[in-house]
Amino acid sequence: MQAGKENSNNVIGNGVKIVAFSNQSRQDKKLLKKFVGFHWKHYRDDTQYIPLLDYEYLGFKLLGVRGFFEHRNLFFKHADMKFFLAFRENEIVGRCNAFVNHNHNKHWKDKIGFFGHFETINDTDVVHALLNAAQEWLKSMEMDTIRGPQNMPVNEATPGLMIKGFDSRPVIYYNYNKKYYETLLHEVGFKPIKRVLSFEIPVMNPMEEKLKRVAQKVIERYDITIETWSQRSFKERKREMFEIYNNAWDENFGFIPFTEEEFNAIINDMMYVMDKGLFQFLYVKGEPAAFLGGVPNLFEKLRPLSFCHRCELLRVIKMFLTKSRIKGFRLGYLGVKKKFQRLGLDGVMIWKQKAYCQKVGLQYSDVGWILEDNVKTIRLVEMMGGAKLSKTYAIFEKKIN
């Protein structure tokens, strides 16, 4: 990440002052703490909002946690970012960051800049000031379009602004925001360009006969071998997953290829909380072809403690002590190599995963990050039985003048 200019202050009007900063200096780190801390006050009366741990943003060396916003985050090997805080009368009234992901623009051959971690009071002046500052910085980085919101981690957090599903079950790495954000973005000239859907599926329903019948035919026809996580070495599993994932999603809207270093870091971190039984690996005539995996919905056990709202270490301890009692999971990892995508392998994996879920007593699965025009995946979700649309997100965009 470029160090850029020193922290800058800019009074926009109506008493709104924007402070722009990076993540390099000691002063930057103080401002980042305020940046992260804003959501605690902003959502303090909203029981639907469950914040990630502050450590995930700011890092915690004692626990070996590398924060999303720390300059040592692998993301900043191929990205530049600026942070913005909006003040009125010395009180924080809004925040966002803006970033250029050079791997995204290289992959898609465009000049898209992003904004994310967007939070604000219900005030158009504040939103205008924040996003204008973000656009000006992106313009200085030679971008011609601003898109978002896109939170970090970029390849894991669901993109967009929640526009439906405000009373749905909180799920790890799904954005939650104030209802009025959609109106505010429209008022400052942003337009929705794509919607992303999330479905909740009960997994204790009886196995759908059609799914079971189709899966068994596919296995026989294409000489498919199914493996669990532990049947190969950890190193080999990571290599196979990395190869399959980048190949599978290469042409999907907004997809940004993982670097191998980033992907390995994610899998390494996931080992602390994963349920290996939720993963299935498929081979067609011995060739790695597809994988499916889920992670427990940690938000079930990450709700802030009533007697100590920001006791983060206690939240971590509570989560680890009670994670075995989590009743649902996010189906967050799926990849089928392009040359095998018409064989029905995804149905086979879902059939096997559902059988495991019923065996261990899980109750629900969340399937998300599904583009509204991805008819094939939506039909697959419907085949699972009992699927209910739970959340809808809109990705917004605006040309930079």
- In order, the DSSP letters of 162-203 are EEE-TTSPP-TT-----TTHHHHHHHTT-EEEEEEEEEEEES
Q: Is 221 left (phi over 0), alpha (psi -120 to 50) or beta?
A: alpha
Q: What is the pTM of this model?
A: 0.92
285, 345 in Cβ contact below 8 A?
no
Q: Please, what are the domains in the chain?
A: 8-197 (3.40.630.30), 204-362 (3.40.630.30)
pLDDT in tens, 263-281: 999 999 889 889 999 999 9
Question: Looking at this protein, which amino acid is placed at residue 153?
Answer: P
Query: What pLDDT is stored for residue 206 in this prediction?
Result: 78
Alpha-carbon distance 366 to 371, whole Å?
A: 15
116, 150 in Cβ contact below 8 A?
yes
Query: What pLDDT is stored for residue 333 in this prediction?
Result: 86
Q: Tokens 């296995």 — which residue?
A: 219
pLDDT in tens, 140-197: 999 999 999 999 988 889 999 999 999 999 999 999 999 999 999 999 999 999 999 9
256, 154 in Cβ contact below 8 A?
yes
Query: What pLDDT is stored for residue 5 in this prediction?
Result: 45
Region 313-336 average pLDDT: 93
Query: Of 131, 66, 147, which is closest to residue 393 (Cα–Cα)?
Result: 147
Q: Tokens 């639907």 — which residue?
A: 48
83, 23 in Cβ contact below 8 A?
yes
Query: Of 76, 82, 103, which is closest to residue 32 (Cα–Cα)?
Result: 82
The answer for residues whose C-beta is within 8 angstroms of residue 277's C-beta and 6 or more apart is: 228, 229, 356, 360
Pairing of β 287-296 and β 161-164: unpaired
pLDDT in tens, 71-125: 999 999 999 999 999 999 999 999 999 999 999 999 999 999 999 999 999 999 9
